[in-house]
Structures are given as C-alpha cells and as structure tokens.
Structure 1
Amino acid sequence: MIAAGSAVAGSIVTGWFTRSAGQRQAAAARHAGDRQADALLATVQATLDDQRRARAIDRRRQVYLEFTEAAHQVFVQGRTTPEHVARLTHMSWAVGLVGPRSVDDAADALCQEVSSLTGESLSFDEDRVASLYFAFQESARRALDENIP
C-alpha cells in the first residue's frame, strides 16, 4: 500500500513538474515569437521611414529644380516680365513648403529682387540678382547634401 501510494504521489509530482516545464517552454516560445514579430515590425518601419525620406528628398530636389528653372528664365530673357515674377513667386511658395528655412530665405530674397526689377533690363556681370541666384543654388545644394530637415 505504501509502495502504491508512493507511486501515485511520484506520478503526481512528476506530472506537476512536467506540466510546469511545458508551460515555461510555451511561454518562452511565445516570448521568442513576440521578439521575432517586434524585430520584423521594426525592420518594416525602418524600410518605410527610409522610403519616406527618399521621397521627401526627391520632392525637395524637384521643387528646387523648378525654382531654379523659373529663375533661369530671367537670365535667358535678359529682363523680367510679370509672367516670370508670377512663376518665380509660385515656385518660391513651393520652396517654402519643402524647406528648410535657409533655402526658403534664399528663394524669397531672389524672388523679391526679381519682383522689384519687373520690366527692367538686367546687367548680369556682377548683378545682385546673379548673386542671389547662386546663393539659392548653394543653399539648395547644401540642404540636399546634408539632408537638412
């Protein structure tokens, strides 16, 4: 009888420890699965962030290019017209949207200078407009190279 009681008690204890070990193993597997899922989510988020940054830089580059083309038309024509000023103003607003502030300030300065000269013939030798044009280009290059927000 004692032997039978010992056997039953041993079975219960063994079963209890086996059950506990199984629960610990299941919890460890769940935890490992959670870590794996977190790592996957972090990788996906990093990829999406990189793609978002690349799209923002591409959009910024496109806006800078369009502003530069609008400003270049003043040089090609050798004078300013209301159409040049309107396009330059529109693109200056776009530059303000994509930033950063340093490039926006350079675009505004050029736009204001061109607006003040509407209809006049410009001398481009060492002209203020040329200086502002190149200052905008330098500021835009720096913002793109350094990825300034």
Structure 2
Amino acid sequence: MGEWGIALIAAGAAIAGSVVTGWYSRSAGVRQAEAARHAGDRQAEALLESVRMTLRGADGQRAIALRQQVYAEFIGAVEARILAERTGRGNGDQELLLQRAYAGVVLEGPPEAAAAASAFLESLRRHEKLDDLHRAKTNFVEEAQRAVTALRSP
C-alpha cells in the first residue's frame, strides 16, 4: 500500500471519527437542551406556585380585615344608638346606620355571628337593661372573634 492508500485510510478514519463524534455531541446537546427545558419548566412552575400562595395569603388578609371592619362598624352603630337613646341627642341617622351595619354582618357571616348580632339588635330594640345589653354585646363579640379566628386558620 502506498502513501496514497495510507493517506486515504487516515482521511477516512478522520472523517468517520468526526461523524461519530459529531453524532454523539449532537445527541448530548439535545439531551442537555431537553434537561434545561425541563428544569426551566419546573422553575417556572415553582415561581407560579409561589405567586399563587402569595395571592392566597393576601386574599386571606383582606378577608380578615373586611370581617373585622364590618363587625366593628356594627358595634359602633349599636353603641351610637344606645348613646342617642340614653342622652336624647340623636340626629335620626342612628337607625339607618344600625340597619346598614347589621346587613353587613349578615352578609359577611358566618351564621353564628349574624345570629348573635340579631340577638344584640333585638335586646336593643326591646330596651333591655344595660346588663342584658352588655351580655348580648359580649356574646356578639365572642362570635365575631371566633369568625375572624376561623379565617386565620388554614
């Protein structure tokens, strides 16, 4: 075999080696790209779940704040009505404010808090003694606290 034969065999081996190396490099590149895409998908899903959890937490805090505000407005409206009744210094808006505040409690719920608000309102409308009004208020406050605590629990 002459020099040309050796050169042709060497060239053929180099080309064959290049093809095999290229094929394996391409396969490895495809696997790496697929693994990177899969890792990116997992990272994106983790980020989305983190955002979802943050939004759920914010929604929960808004619900708690709303419930507390509704309950506080109801107690304030009842107290304003009691004060107006006792002092005779009402401007007539107390009943309207009281009805609006009560409606807020009924809508916000839960049923136990709404029932306690209703009992408190009935005690007020029956002109019960201050001790009875205080008991009705305490009962409502306890139910309101339970309702807010229930929102805080997962």
TM class by smaller structure: 0.7 to 0.9
Q: CA shift at 1:17, angstroms?
A: 0.9
Percent identical among aligned pairs is 42
The equivalent of 2:139 in structure 1 is 135
Unaligned runs of 5+ residues in structure 2 are 1-7
Residues 79-116 of structure 1 deviation map (CA, whole Å, 9 limit, x = unaligned) = 8987444322211111122222221221122224434x
SS at match of 2:129: coil
Instruction: Report whether the alignment pairs 1:42 with 2:57.
Output: no
The correspondence of residues 82-97 of structure 1 with structure 2, limited to 5 A, is: 83-97=93-107
Pick the aligned partner of 1:66 from 67, 73, 76: 73
Distance (Å, rounded) in 1 between the aligned partners of 2:94 and 2:116: 17
Kept in 2: contact 1:100–1:143 (CA 8 A): yes
Distance (Å, rounded) in 1 between the aligned partners of 2:114 and 2:129: 25
Kept in 1: contact 2:110–2:147 (CA 8 A): yes
The correspondence of residues 1-149 of structure 1 with structure 2, limited to 5 A, is: 1-76=8-83, 77-78=85-86, 83-115=93-125, 117=126, 121-125=127-131, 127=132, 129-147=133-151
Which entry has the higher C-alpha Rg, 1 or 2? Answer: 2
Distance (Å, rounded) in 2 between the aligned partners of 1:147 and 1:3: 78
CA 71–141 in structure 1, closer or farther in 2 if over 3 Å, else same: same
CA RMSD of aligned residues (A): 2.6
Distance (Å, rounded) in 2 between the aligned partners of 1:24 and 1:10: 21
Unaligned runs of 5+ residues in structure 1 are none
- Counterpart amino acid of residue 86 in structure 2: G
CA 83–108 in structure 1, closer or farther in 2 if over 3 Å, else same: same
- Counterpart amino acid of residue 42 in structure 2: R
SS at match of 2:130: coil
Aligned length: 143
TM-score computed with the length of structure 2 as normaliser: 0.77
TM-score computed with the length of structure 1 as normaliser: 0.79
